[in-house]
Structure 1
Amino acid sequence: MTTSDLELTSYTGVPTTDLPLKAKDFTSDQEVRWCPGCGDYVILATVRSFLPELGLRRENLMFVSGIGCAARFPYYLDAYGLHSIHGRAPAIATGLAVTRPDLSVWVVTGDGDALSIGGNHLIHALRRNINVTILLFNNRIYGLTKGQYSPTSEVGKVTKSTPMGSVDHPFNTLSLALGAEATFAARALDSDRKGLTEVLRAAAAHRGASFVEILQDCPIFNDGSFDLLRKEGAEQRLIHLVHGQPIIFGNDGQFCVVRKGFGLAIAATADVAADDIVVHDAYTDDPEYAYALSRLSDQDLNHVVSGIFRSVNRTTYDDAVRAQLDLARERKPVGPDSLQQLLNGRETWTVGP
């Protein structure tokens, strides 16, 4: 990896504008139609407020969604958008990223859309390191289809499709993303406007597949799913990562993260030496460390890690494809009759009457 590679951002080569943009400039004329109290409203407002920072032309922003409540997102932004088909948003975004380097491509998806029917597309987009920013809204339920359990619903979850409680073991979404070798992986809470903006800013700047899980509330079919992370005592549960800082949390910093065997564990700060407390390094090329961080989060929300888990540089799939095409053109220049020659092939036949 060269120094110039490291200086690239996800929107390098995307046309910019000198016009001063504000959140209202990214607000479309469409009526926002989510249920009152839905966490999607906060995410939309945060994204609208953040986008002007990029300084990109609105016509060079592309938001691709699949199916679900989150998939309405492109309608509410005054930028280009594509409401695609169930689970296939990463595949469509891949085609756009490869063929249109002048676009900043974003994927908006939900836990059902991305992790069930779209699971295969998601992991391959991450594995290939496509230059897209993926926002996964996780409310641990199917909302649009009226309350069935999803791939992130906790064990025992009673829903319309699991009246006796779900027996499925849910995905740990960050573990899944890191297992697919995502070069950028992060988590934020919808109600944490500051934390969400910090994560979005870093994800947008990262050249490669940026995966951001956003924990959000569904007030109709899974109300209060993440209340333990919002109400009194949340400080004892939320482990917020800051690069270069010791991982300490709690009301008075009474808990910390230490190394234990091949992984990480939570300990009482008073019981360990200061040097034993893990200092977070989001830029280490050690995937095991980031994966171990993801395993500190549990489905019962006793502990949830948020912030940027990993941010490393690796050649993107779309950059590599375009470089390969340029090399092919150099080796065999394209002439005016090249297409016809390709269609004819090496041998031709004339079919008579």
Structure 2
Amino acid sequence: MATLQDFKNNVKPNWCPGCGDYAVQMALQKAAVQLGMKPYELALVCGIGCSGRLSGYIYAYGMHTTHGRALPFAQGLKIANPELNVIACGGDGDGMAIGMGHTFHAIRRNINLTYVLMDNHVYGLTKGQTSPRSDLGFKTKTTPTGNIETPVSTLEMALAAGVTFLAQGFSPQLQELTDLIVAAVKHPGFSLVNVFSPCVTFNKVNTYEWFKDKLVDVKDIAEYDNSDKGAVLNQVLEHEGLLTGLLHQNLKKPSYEELSGLSKNNQMQSVKKLAPEVFDKLVKNFY
């Protein structure tokens, strides 16, 4: 059985000290171990931004794709090789901006993969600009007098698209986040795990303390029913999206693979394997 060490490599993350993404990386590694995966059974597909670096920091198959396009790559990978555990990763400036259309339609298709979305309410890699998740009045280099655009609600959008698994975590709550990712991967269909992952350098408003003061765990809400989509939406609206836990799960909707029959047809089995000497020759071109 694989251990946590098996999912580590010798690449040192270059995130800022205190970045929430460190904990997301650890949660992904711990989840892979809990699920009994081996490194060759996991594929991480990432977009652009600080969060996009994750594919290079975990020892598994990794793809670093173009801005906002992690999900099209991830869906293609899962359809071609349904035996792989495919996890897409991105940030709010990736999946809720240029990638919004892909996010919506990936949810609607319900392909059996997981999307971990790291939400820091700002563009961090490009040194602090307003993102679609930035709050009204938020001041950045692109909005020096304050943001005047209403922020996108990731949770409301996902519910409107018909998401069958929706969870939200907070990066320092490592065990809960790990458990949510484990549950997401086990879910038979598309699963979205939104993670509040604070940017300590370019967002001095939505800090760790800010989230700690405002977040409400759905376990603490009396008679919370995550199978009732309408009731879940009402709770999301009432708490302005500041909830953590497994928010919604629908086990009745069949996955894309079930409806299409693709789960019974592994495209990779028909691919002719390269002879070792040919593979070595090709790989040598890159080092």
Please give the range of the TM-score, normalised by the shorter of the 2 chains: 0.7 to 0.9
Q: Which residue of 1 aligns with 2:238?
A: 296
Q: Determine if the alignment matches structure 1 residue 308 to structure 2 residue 246.
A: yes
* Aligned residues of 1:240 and 1:305 also touching (Cα < 8 A): yes
TM-score after normalising by structure 2: 0.87
* Aligned residues of 1:293 and 1:309 also touching (Cα < 8 A): no
| 1:319 partner letter | E
Q: Determine if the alignment matches structure 1 residue 321 to structure 2 residue 265.
A: no
| 2:53 partner letter | R
Q: Which residue of 2 aligns with 1:176?
A: 157
Residue 217 of structure 2: which of 240, 265, 268 is its match?
A: 240
* Aligned residues of 1:97 and 1:132 also touching (Cα < 8 A): yes
What secondary structure does 2:177 align onto?
helix
| 1:225 partner letter | N
Q: Which residue of 2 aligns with 1:122?
A: 103
Identify if the C-alpha distance between structure 1 residues 289 and 30 changes in structure 2 by more than 3 Å, giving closer, same or farther.
same
Q: CA RMSD in A?
A: 1.7
Q: Percent of counterpart pairs with the same letter?
A: 35
* Aligned residues of 2:74 and 2:88 also touching (Cα < 8 A): yes
**Structure that is richer in helix per residue:** 2
Cα distance in 1 for partners of 2:74, 2:263 equals 20
Per-residue deviation, 1:132: 0.8
Q: Determine if the alignment matches structure 1 residue 217 to structure 2 residue 198.
A: yes
Q: Which residue of 1 aligns with 2:223?
A: 279
Cα distance in 2 for partners of 1:178, 1:108 equals 19
What secondary structure does 2:261 align onto?
helix
| 2:87 partner letter | W
TM-score after normalising by structure 1: 0.71
* Aligned residues of 1:64 and 1:74 also touching (Cα < 8 A): yes
* Aligned residues of 2:127 and 2:202 also touching (Cα < 8 A): yes
Cα distance in 2 for partners of 1:194, 1:61 equals 20
Cα distance in 1 for partners of 2:168, 2:243 equals 7
What secondary structure does 2:78 align onto?
helix
Cα distance in 2 for partners of 1:31, 1:225 equals 26
Q: Which residue of 1 aligns with 2:210?
A: 228
Q: Which residue of 2 aligns with 1:42?
A: 23
Q: Which residue of 2 aligns with 1:32?
A: 13
| 1:229 partner letter | F
* Aligned residues of 1:240 and 1:307 also touching (Cα < 8 A): yes
* Aligned residues of 2:31 and 2:179 also touching (Cα < 8 A): no
| 1:280 partner letter | Y
Determine which structure has greater relative contact order: mean sequence separation of CA pairs < 8 Å that are 6+ residues apart, divided by chain length: 2
Give unmatched runs, 5+ long, in structure 1: 1-19, 248-277, 327-353
* Aligned residues of 1:23 and 1:50 also touching (Cα < 8 A): no
5 Å-filtered alignment, 1:137-176, equals 137-176=118-157
What secondary structure does 2:125 align onto?
coil
User: Over residues 155-176 of structure 1, what are the superposed CA-to-partner deviations in whole Å (9 max), with x where a residue is unaligned?
Assistant: 0111000111110000121111
5 Å-filtered alignment, 1:34-113, equals 34-113=15-94
* Aligned residues of 1:142 and 1:149 also touching (Cα < 8 A): yes
> Which shifted more, 132-141 or 314-323?
314-323
Identify if the C-alpha distance between structure 1 residues 324 and 61 changes in structure 2 by more than 3 Å, giving closer, same or farther.
closer
Identify if the C-alpha distance between structure 1 residues 66 and 323 changes in structure 2 by more than 3 Å, giving closer, same or farther.
closer
Cα distance in 2 for partners of 1:167, 1:221 equals 18
Aligned length, in residue pairs: 263
What secondary structure does 1:81 align onto?
strand
Cα distance in 2 for partners of 1:289, 1:140 equals 26
* Aligned residues of 2:82 and 2:263 also touching (Cα < 8 A): no
| 1:295 partner letter | L
What secondary structure does 1:46 align onto?
helix
5 Å-filtered alignment, 1:199-218, equals 199-218=180-199
| 1:23 partner letter | L
* Aligned residues of 1:185 and 1:211 also touching (Cα < 8 A): yes
* Aligned residues of 2:257 and 2:263 also touching (Cα < 8 A): no
What secondary structure does 1:295 align onto?
helix
5 Å-filtered alignment, 1:11-26, equals 20-26=1-7
Per-residue deviation, 1:324: 9.9
Identify if the C-alpha distance between structure 1 residues 296 and 102 changes in structure 2 by more than 3 Å, giving closer, same or farther.
same
